[in-house]
């Protein structure tokens, strides 16, 4: 019997994040067995920390472009299809609710 494990890098935001003058796209990329282990292959589907969007920053969900930061050419293109949910959550029980702030 053989057991195969597929590993790929899931980009989860582990602290408060400010997106300024960049675009962040939540989604799933095509799995590539030849890709380096640090290549982003999908993003987390939960926002567990505060998110601030400033200047020309954008947050996309499941758009037809690269996942994570769209200007990073090492990131793969989104292949999630028609459905990819992103939820706002808490990091730990009793933690304060998450906030998404859009600043001019």
List the domain boundaries for the chain.
9-104
pTM score: 0.75
98 touches 48 (CB < 8 A): yes
Instruction: Grade residue 57 by pLDDT with cuts at 50, 70 and 90.
Output: very high
| Distance from C-alpha of 16 to C-alpha of 60, rounded to nearest angstrom | 17
Per-residue pLDDT averaged across 53-65, rounded? 90
pLDDT tens digits for range 4-38: 333 344 555 666 788 899 998 888 887 666 777 66
Note the pLDDT of residue 55: 92
Note the pLDDT of residue 100: 80
């Amino acid at each position: 019997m053989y057991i195969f494990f597929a590993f790929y890098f899931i980009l989860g935001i582990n602290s408060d994040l400010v997106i300024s003058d960049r675009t962040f796209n939540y989604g799933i990329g095509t799995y590539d067995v030849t890709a380096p282990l640090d290549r982003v292959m999908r993003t987390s589907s939960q926002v567990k920390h505060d998110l601030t969007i400033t200047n020309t920053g954008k947050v996309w969900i499941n758009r037809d472009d690269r996942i994570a930061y769209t200007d990073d050419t090492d990131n793969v293109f989104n292949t999630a299809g028609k459905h990819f949910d992103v939820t706002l959550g808490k990091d730990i029980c009793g933690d304060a609710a998450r906030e998404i702030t859009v600043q001019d």
